[in-house]
Structure 1
């Protein structure tokens, strides 16, 4: 830091805020720490009584906060995001497309553990919309060791900490199960709820069929939807352990991989997810640009999805539409935050459910 005449400060970096006071009008920083002085700034600085300024004196091996913030941006920013200009060592990333936010939590924690820099983001594995703020980053001191920022780049490597997986265009078939619905003893109130949630994620609903409590009939219906081009199949009802509940067996018989039957989430403990391999994979899967279409998710939804505002289905569906192939581990980690508090006024996703 050195002291210079204000008239000689063009191109220099301020080491402190410059406050302007106009009685009854304003008392605020007219220039912030880290501001690069321009020719147009000189009259303003003189008008607030600043004939001399403390400015940053460039030192070898040290980076100004804005230059260091640019390093953070480089390791953070993935596709479908835009960055703000560096200001006072701060940069923000916002979404340029609707999709699912993915975060490399190991890298995120490693950078924050280094000190003198911070990355603060929204939760990963949740949907974001175009214009949503993704992460704010800041370098704390005015100057920071260049070697420290080089270590950040080494830790993070080539893959960015934050990525947005755009939602894919998908088609879904719905299968409602249960003798009471199949024999028209009660009205099917499950399908409209599922249809609404699918459309909320931009999924085209091809239609729905109703099956009796018959595993073979339901398996045939699953395969029929897949033959008709469905990218996912959603089965409702028949997911508990009652003797007439045959949907889990039907899903097993129709699938090549069962990921889970049961999840540490309430509501939604009896949820089931399986995958069936698509026979027409190959070139089609390579050319979609929307992730692998080889595996078709088949889901079994417990009754709570029909009457609870938010459930396991709301946590899983966006990830499937974004093209993720979920594993058993993706479900086992949902226990903390897996309890919906059934608030009178639902604020999901701006709450702790699923986080």
Structure 2
């Protein structure tokens, strides 16, 4: 690949290296970085008075960036892995199921050292992930990659399993709680609750816990009962911390016919853990910190066991790097979030404050004489009310609804919901009128705005929260767009920085064209179904809407 200044007479077919804002007789035109220069683009450049451009010219043996990213992404795929479409030399690798993400670190290092043109970035090894979560990103650094290097990278990637998701199994877990005189019931109840939350979050089931004396024989008897109840994982929470392989908890495992694999671990908190097995079933004596929902070494072992990965003494001894967790402020493990809880890292940053704007002012011309927003589902809930309820299920606040046409009826349909109503008299001007009225009502502290359409009732609060989770203007993710199988959908999330340009929009159009203008700041979030593509603005479309009455 050749790179540098290219006279316009020789630039056709070259790739523009930098975005250009050009003043022409027809106004300002923008040519984006990565544009392949054709006759029209060259004419624009000439009209703007340019004699040359900085561009890349591919040569024989060069593979264009998107093709190279797609090929390497394909080579990295395996069971329970998917990829996004290639764009700007990038392909993301996604999980197809919740589980434990495992990386062959030596293979990733080898691929990254082949050539500076090809890079792969991944989540940390042994990270719990949720379905559709991004695991890795392939990025081609220049506008192309050498074909010989790419072929070698594909061969290396297909020669092993660089990336893998091991799905969590629905294990039955038995818990023994030993007691000493004076031990408060609240401590035992807290231990059961924390353990229950961990097990449920990993798709398991906690059998009714057994309480017994803090004696080797009593604990061994309880373990035997749980084993007969078909427990697939055995846990002992001792009344006092285990301090030796021959203490009551480990002794009970061996007395019941099992063995101890490893005592202690180089993870803090979590040092005093004891791992063994009883009749082929993993058995653990828990460290005292396991009574707390905060992240500790027990979580790391538990996640691997639920993912079907063997855990040996050697594995535990290898957890020391990154194992200093004591000063890390970690979150509890709410059940719906634990599958994506990071195994270690810095404290979670404060969530961005994002408002939600629901456009519900249109005249519904394509469904006349019906007002599509007031069409009810089989439970009698109007479409616009369903949309508002879904948005309220998300973290976005405040929620603002813009009304206009038949405003009184629409507002009546939203009565009782904690949503702010803004009326616009300009709804006949089209989408831009509703958009401006809503944007003008945004609170000054809102860092972003989620623009939702009143005729998309299938988009859930969980989908919106997935978009909110990746929004970070400081890291260049200032426009968030949902996709399904590569097709771009709605709603969209915008940083506050775009408000001046959005307020200047006229006519029956929204702000989507700005995503093209600022393509390098867009992040796509792939969804698991097509809800983000489905609006219901015609009678034919409504016939395909689940749970809604047919006109």
User: Which band: TM-score by shorter chain?
Assistant: 0.7 to 0.9
Is the CA contact 2:168–2:308 (under 8 Å) kept in the aligned structure 1? yes
Deviations 1:8-46 (Å, cap 9, x if unpaired)? Answer: 96xx462423423589xx99964332x457899899888
The answer to whether 1:216 aligns with 2:201 is no
Gapped regions of structure 1 (runs ≥ 5): 278-294
SS at match of 1:270: coil
* Superposition map of 1:120-159 within 5 A: 120-159=121-160
The answer to whether 1:320 aligns with 2:321 is no
Question: Shift of residue 240 of structure 1?
Answer: 2.0
2:255 and 2:119 map into 1 onto residues whose CA distance is 49
Which residue does the alignment assign to 1:108? 108
Question: Shift of residue 269 of structure 1?
Answer: 0.9
Normalised by the size of structure 2, how large is the TM-score?
A: 0.52
Q: Which of the numbers 265, 269, 272 marks the counterpart of 2:271? A: 269
Which residue does the alignment assign to 1:85? 85
Is the CA contact 1:213–1:245 (under 8 Å) kept in the aligned structure 2? no
Deviations 1:268-295 (Å, cap 9, x if unpaired)? Answer: 1110122334xxxxxxxxxxxxxxxxx4
127-136 vs 302-311, which moves further: 302-311
Which residue does the alignment assign to 2:162? 161
Which residue does the alignment assign to 2:358? none
Deviations 1:94-132 (Å, cap 9, x if unpaired)? Answer: 223211101000001111122312111111201011232
SS at match of 1:207: coil
Q: Residues 340 and 56 from structure 1, CA distance in 2 versus in 1: closer, same or farther, beyond 3 angstroms?
A: closer
* Superposition map of 1:10-25 within 5 A: 12=13, 14-20=15-21
SS at match of 1:110: helix
Larger Cα-atom Rg: 2
Is the CA contact 1:259–1:326 (under 8 Å) kept in the aligned structure 2? no
| Structure with larger RCO (C-alpha < 8 A, sep 6+) | 1
Which residue does the alignment assign to 1:177? 178
Question: Shift of residue 56 of structure 1?
Answer: 6.1
Which residue does the alignment assign to 1:65? 65
Gapped regions of structure 2 (runs ≥ 5): 333-340, 347-551
1:319 and 1:28 map into 2 onto residues whose CA distance is 54
1:311 and 1:220 map into 2 onto residues whose CA distance is 28
1:153 and 1:243 map into 2 onto residues whose CA distance is 48
* Superposition map of 1:199-210 within 5 A: 199-210=200-211
Number of equivalenced pairs: 328
* Superposition map of 1:234-245 within 5 A: 234-237=235-238, 238-241=240-243, 245=247
Question: Shift of residue 200 of structure 1?
Answer: 2.2
Which residue does the alignment assign to 1:284? none
Q: Residues 350 and 227 from structure 1, CA distance in 2 versus in 1: closer, same or farther, beyond 3 angstroms?
A: closer
Which residue does the alignment assign to 1:300? 285
The answer to whether 1:352 aligns with 2:345 is yes
Which residue does the alignment assign to 2:296? 311
2:83 and 2:195 map into 1 onto residues whose CA distance is 36
1:81 and 1:38 map into 2 onto residues whose CA distance is 37
Deviations 1:243-262 (Å, cap 9, x if unpaired)? Answer: 99400111233465533111
Is the CA contact 2:92–2:136 (under 8 Å) kept in the aligned structure 1? yes
1:345 and 1:75 map into 2 onto residues whose CA distance is 36
Is the CA contact 1:100–1:128 (under 8 Å) kept in the aligned structure 2? yes
1:329 and 1:260 map into 2 onto residues whose CA distance is 9
Normalised by the size of structure 1, how large is the TM-score?
A: 0.78
